[in-house]
Structure 1
Amino acid sequence: MAATPEGYMSGFGNDFETEALPGALPVGQNSPQRCAYGLYAEQLSGSPFTAPRGLNERSWLYRLRPSVRHTGRFDKVDLPHWKSAPCIVEHDRPIGQYRWSPVPIPDASLTFVAGVRTMTTAGDVNTQTGMSTHLYFVTASMFDDYFYNADGELLIAPQQGALAFVTEFGRIGIAPGEICVIPRGVKFRVELVAGAARGYMCENYGAKFTLPNRGPIGANCLANARDFKTPVAAFEDREATSRMTVKWCGKFYACEIGHSPLDVVAWHGNYAPYKYDLRAFSPIGAILFDHPDPSIFSVLTAPSGEEGTANVDFVIFPERWQVAEHSFRPPWYHMNIMSEFMGLIYGQYDAKPQGFTPGAMSLHNCMLPHGPDAQAFARASQARLEPEKLTKTLAFMFETRFPQRLTDYAATLETLQEDYADCWAGLEKRFNGKP
């Protein structure tokens, strides 16, 4: 039986229940002596068993075979371009602000897993702190080829081309302007939808992504829970020689199995993959003067042990109105504790009108200054401050409180803009001694 077409349930962190066959979910208990259809009951836990009720995450899966049959004798495999922290390499790049033009999609045959290219790493995968930023390139679908990541959850943001993530919880399709999050330990394969694909990915080693607290904002705006979509149950009853690859403590291991591991007929719980359309984000901003901190654009946050300080934040800069009076409207010049990896899905970013095109990326590490280029400063300083709508634009940041270290791949990319810092060269002293 093949996986059914994708379908979704709405809500973030809800305790869902869904079944692909009627009566597959047990009623009143999680692990009956005999499950319907001869299925096996299995729990997938995304938090320690004794985590507080509001933080405890798990799902019960009712499947054709338990997961112990979805692994075998592992052999170590080499995926040389997918790196994990700590990855401290001795390249010749000094500290500084970095920017890369879009990287062309390679001509080689690359599945999603083989096509990952790590740009930066931060923290330590062995202590489950920090994160990594990656590019991915996909030119071939995964067929009888499956993967799960024991090191962290994956946040995938397509920039070109659509992908289908076929998971043990169901099927998720995403295209540019959408994201999906695959939790730690969830098995999946990736299919191309129409043509080659390229995008960005954050691998979060720490506490899982959640919705940020709104504080004085109140109950509404930013990302609303109802707009997150979790797949309905779908399963594959397929017996064929298959490959399972696992990422564990920064290394990769593969084994051969004789069937599809995507065999969950029904499930219930609150630990599951999900998607989100970034165009559903409801931005807020200054409606009189000044420019708020970019934290008002946070979609998801992965908290650290320090209150208000994220292991990773996922921040977007979507279409929005700018109406502030007597104000410099683009992001101001700043230095801060967070290290910011930025990408552009489509359109133009208002603080960098030149050199930062869709598919490009930049890195501004902690306590390294950055802000609008000279052209953006000149334009914003002289603009008539009428209401203006920024349209057809979508940029994002993966930011962390840990320093992001360049990989060799990032340091030696041909698309690295060696003259990036020159974008601020025109910011001459403007002091004239007058108020």
Structure 2
Amino acid sequence: MAYYRRAGHLPPKRHTQHRRPDGGLYYEELMGEEGFSSDSSLLYHHFIPSAITEAAPWDLPDQELRANHPLLPRHFKTQDLFDENTAKAADTVTGRRLLLGNDDVRLSYSAAAQPSPLYRNATGDECVYVESGEATVETVFGTLTARQGDYVLLPRTTTHRWVPTGNGVLRTYIIEANSHIAPPRRYLSKYGQLLEHAPFCERDLHGPEELLLESGTDVEVLVKHRGPQGCVTGTRYVYSHHPFDVVGWDGCLYPHTFNIADFEPITGRIHQPPPAHQVFEGAGFVICNFVPRKVDYHPQAIPMPYYHSNVDSDEVMFYAGGDYEARKGSGIGQGSVSLHPGGHAHGPQPGAYERSVGTEFFDELAVMVDTFRPLRLGEAAAAGEAEGYAWSWAAGEAS
């Protein structure tokens, strides 16, 4: 995120004295990536940010993964994971249910109506897509407003809390990396500016506008972090003072939102390949949008995607809205997640290829994650799987 921002009051020179009105010093914290050789920000705290008084294990929601064996395309219904009462009692952090994962990324779903605990993910950045509902995301950098269609990007170790607002349930699709998440490198200048051919620009990225100051002592923060042999584990810290005590910060590393409606689709006379839809990338995976758009306008075009074997990737689609033409007849609908693993040639359901001829516009909304290592199945995959999806192409062909 090489886009400089600042908030609050700062000393004129970094790493120099910044004094409180009573003459005491504020405490400077450098939050930086890649051994302080990449993006960073400086935060100035009222209190020492490392002052913990207790630490205890935190038992994470079920993180166990099992192999996708036998190798099958699969359909998961996130609508089946939370009933009304469960959602009303859940929060967006501790109520997550793990669908899919590997050593690079974990994909979870949450439906929640309660404020979350203070939390930070020390394993990697998080990219949270808001399927529906609204929330205030309180962070050590300040407050973000999250609404339907927003990606909320939270850099690794950002202390934050999700507070649903309004009367509805907050439904989120959570992409947790073991790395950092950023715009694709091909969209960026050598100094990090988004280039003219990128499908979004800095005006579309919204960081915290105002600081958030809270007081309190003996404050709990849940931390997800790396454990033995690469596993993910958790610790519950107690801080002597509330971590939301920052009086000023500046830099190029901070949480922000980007709404999927601000993504300008790249279209052409013939079908554009999936990289044209890319919005973010992390180590070992990419994130793409499929948004409402004009489709192929060559006189002989077939707007529907061709059948394809992405030989290096597993493909996961989260169907967030609209009418996804390629999956008609398969049972997939709003809130569905499909897994098309590497080794399985996939594409439109029977009849969709032919029906698309002459179509000028697709009204669809989906978030795609392609991974470069095989995905394994979490507990929510077993709980929400729709039977028969793997055979839907053959069944439709026969009919």
Q: What is the TM-score normalised by the length of structure 2? A: 0.88
Q: Where in structure 2 are there 5+ consecutive unaligned residues?
A: 189-193, 227-231
Amino acid aligned to 2:31: L
Contact 2:61 2:94 in 1 (8 A): no
Tell me the residue number matched to 1:198: 171
Equivalence for 2:16: 32
Q: In structure 2, what is the equivalent of residue 421 of structure 1?
A: 390
Name the residue aligned to 2:201: 224
Change (3 A) 1:72 1:241: closer
* 2:387 is aligned with 1:407: no
1:370 aligns with 2:311: no
Deviation at 1:245, TM superposition (A): 0.6
Choose the corresponding residue for 1:156, options 94, 106, 128: 128
Give the CA deviation at 1:427: 6.2
Query: For residues 90 and 300 of structure 1, do their structure 2 counterparts lie closer, same or farther at Cα, with a shift above 3 Å needed?
Result: closer
Paired residues of 1:348 and 1:356 also in contact (CA < 8 A): no
Match of 2:229 in 1: none
Q: Secondary structure at the match of 1:74?
A: strand
User: Which secondary structure does the structure 2 equivalent of 1:265 belong to?
Assistant: strand
Structure 2 equivalent of residue 6 of structure 1: none
In structure 2, C-alpha distance between the alignment counterparts of 1:211 and 1:62, rounded to whole Å = 31
Does residue 3 of structure 2 align to residue 18 of structure 1? no
CA separation in 2, counterparts of 1:184 and 1:66? 20
Partner of 2:153: 181
Instruction: Show the counterpart of 2:31.
Output: 44
* 218 and 416 in structure 1: CA distance in 2 versus 1, 3 angstrom threshold: same
Which position in structure 1 is the counterpart of 2:328? 353
**Cα 1:171–1:155 shift into 2, 3 Å:** same
SS of match in other structure, 1:206:
coil
Letter in 1 for 2:303: R
| Equivalent residue, structure 2, for 1:126 | none
Cα distance change on mapping 1:165 and 1:95 into 2, 3 Å: same
C-alpha spacing 1:226/1:197, structure 2 compared with 1 (3 Å): same
**8 Å CA contact 1:177, 1:394 repeated in 2:** no
Residue type of the partner of 1:419? G
Query: How far apart are the structure 2 equivalents of 1:316 and 1:13?
Result: 22
1:293 paired residue number? 273
- Aligned-residue offset at 1:219: 2.1
Change (3 A) 1:396 1:90: closer
For 2:60 and 2:195, how far apart are their aligned partners in 1? 45
What whole-Å deviation, never above 9, does each CA across 1:159-199 have from its counterpart, x for those lacking one?
12112210011111112211110000110011011222112
Residues 1-21 of structure 1: CA distance to partner in whole angstroms, max 9, x if unpaired?
A: xxxxxxxxxxx52121211xx
CA contact 1:161–1:197 (8 Å) conserved in 2: yes
- In structure 1, the partner of 2:58 is 77
Query: Is the CA contact (8 Å cut-off) linking 2:3 and 2:202 kept in structure 1?
Result: no
Once the 2 structures are TM-superposed, how far is the Cα of residue 34 of structure 1 from its aligned partner? 4.1
Q: Would the alpha carbon gap of residues 214 and 32 (structure 1) be closer, same or farther in structure 2, given more than 3 Å must change?
A: closer
Contact 2:11 2:18 in 1 (8 A): no
Any residues of structure 2 matched to 1:378-417 within 5 Å, and which? 378-380=354-356, 383=357, 385=358, 388-391=360-363, 393-410=364-381, 412-413=382-383, 415-417=384-386
Find the aligned partners of 1:223 and 1:89 in 2 and give their Cα distance.
Answer: 37
Q: Does 1:273 align with 2:255?
A: yes
- Distance, in Å, in 2 between the alignment partners of 1:378 and 1:258 is 65
TM superposition shift of 1:118 = 0.9
In the TM superposition, what is the alpha-carbon distance from 1:350 to its structure 2 partner? 1.9
Q: Deviations over 1:269-318 (max 9, x none)?
A: 1111110011111111222xx3121110001122x4xxxxxx22110100
Whether the 8 Å CA contact 2:47–2:241 is kept in 1: the answer is no
Pick closer, same or farther for the CA change 1:175–1:237 going to 2, 3 Å.
Answer: closer
Higher deviation after alignment, 174-183 or 107-116? 107-116
Q: Given the superposition, is the C-alpha separation of residues 299 and 41 from structure 1 closer, same or farther in structure 2, using an over 3 Å criterion?
A: same
Q: Which residue of 2 aligns with 1:317?
A: 290
Query: Could you tell me whether the CA contact under 8 Å between 2:78 and 2:109 is conserved in 1?
Result: no
Match of 1:254 in 2: 236
| 1:89 and 2:66 are equivalent in the alignment | yes
Q: Residues 233 and 137 from structure 1, CA distance in 2 versus in 1: closer, same or farther, beyond 3 angstroms?
A: same
In structure 2, distance between residues paired with 1:255 and 1:301:
31
Count of residues paired in the alignment: 377
Cα offset, 1:221, TM superposition: 4.1
Q: Deviations over 1:53-98 (max 9, x none)?
A: xxx11100011112212x33211121233x2xxx55378x521000
Aligned with 2:145: secondary structure?
strand
Distance in 2 (alpha carbons) for counterparts of 1:90 and 1:371 = 23
Conservation of the 8 A alpha-carbon contact between 1:150 and 1:247: yes
Does structure 2 retain, via aligned residues, the 8 Å contact 1:119–1:407? yes
Deviation at 1:210, TM superposition (A): 2.6
Distance (whole Å) between structure 1 residues aligned to residue 251 and residue 187 of structure 2: 25
* Alpha carbons 1:176, 1:345 under 8 Å: kept: no
Q: CA deviation at 1:131?
A: 0.9
3-state DSSP class of the match of 1:35? coil
Q: Is the 8 A contact 2:97 2:379 kept in 1?
A: no
TM-aligned CA deviation for residue 264 of structure 1: 1.2
1:168 paired with 2:124, answer no
TM-score normalised by length of structure 1: 0.81
